[in-house]
Amino acid sequence: MKPLYSIRMRAAQGGPHESGGHHISGAERIVTMDQVGTMVQSLADRALHHSKGVADFINITVDLVPTDSIRHIPVLDVEEHETSDVSDARLLAKKLLSKTEITSTSVDKGVSLLCGLSTSMRGAMLIDFVSGERLDEGQRGVRVSHMDTCSDLSMYNMNEHMREALVLASKVQSCEGIVGELCWSDDPDYTVGYVACNGVYHRLPHMKEMGSSIGGRIFFVKSGTDISKLIAYLESAPVLVEW
């Protein structure tokens, strides 16, 4: 097998994220050595031509991934839903999450946390699946990383937004202790969000108003889960999603 490299890009406006810069874009891929140069250029172009503005800080990291450390996981099933507006979409999201072990209290708190954001978080909030209490702190959240797909996506008729979201959701749902996920994008021109639970990626239109640049994600976590182990897997374990 050819050596594989993890390429991760994050971009901000007004300086680095750690210095208060406004998040513009983030993306990552796992590719073979001969694809590294092309992919680095592609991710840099993405950071410089984004609907949220032009980045003045771009960080691109390239790391060799030991092939024996890569975990191969199956992609989630996909279900497309129709919704009429934001209220309808968020109500459906609650109904889908209620079909899991997650309590209605936790679902309501999760939706309220996302709706109450004044600015987008860089990562996901972790909340207890029974009480709805946050298990992490601050604005950084948990940023899922080191993931990609080794499959040809041309047959699936999906855009880049959906491809990346489906890969991320598949890794998250493969993590021990996570019961479900709720997400909508911070891209102002992309209003589709999703719920992931019970092995299914539910794609929901109109999860936020067009033009809104505030988005985020919630991971619902089983009580008693080893949070440090959970975060280590989500942020650092290399994963390839297979169709």
pTM assigned to the model: 0.91
Residues 6+ apart with CB under 8 A from 157: none
SS3 99: coil
pLDDT per residue over 19-59, tens digit each? Answer: 667 777 888 999 999 999 999 999 999 888 877 777 888 89
**Predicted pLDDT of residue 142:** 95
Measured between alpha carbons, how far is residue 111 from residues 80, 118, 130, 166 in Å? Answer: 20, 14, 14, 20
**Predicted pLDDT of residue 152:** 61
**Predicted pLDDT of residue 94:** 96
Residue numbers in the chain where pLDDT is lower than 70:
17-20, 151-157
**Predicted pLDDT of residue 221:** 98
Q: How far apart are CA 169 and CA 197, in angstroms?
A: 9
The one-letter code for the residue type at 170 is S
**Predicted pLDDT of residue 18:** 67
pLDDT per residue over 130-149, tens digit each? Answer: 999 999 987 789 999 999 98
Are 209 and 86 in contact by the 8 Å Cβ rule? The answer is yes
**Predicted pLDDT of residue 140:** 82
**Predicted pLDDT of residue 122:** 77
Are 2 and 22 in contact by the 8 Å Cβ rule? The answer is no
**Predicted pLDDT of residue 243:** 82
**Predicted pLDDT of residue 2:** 82
**Predicted pLDDT of residue 153:** 54
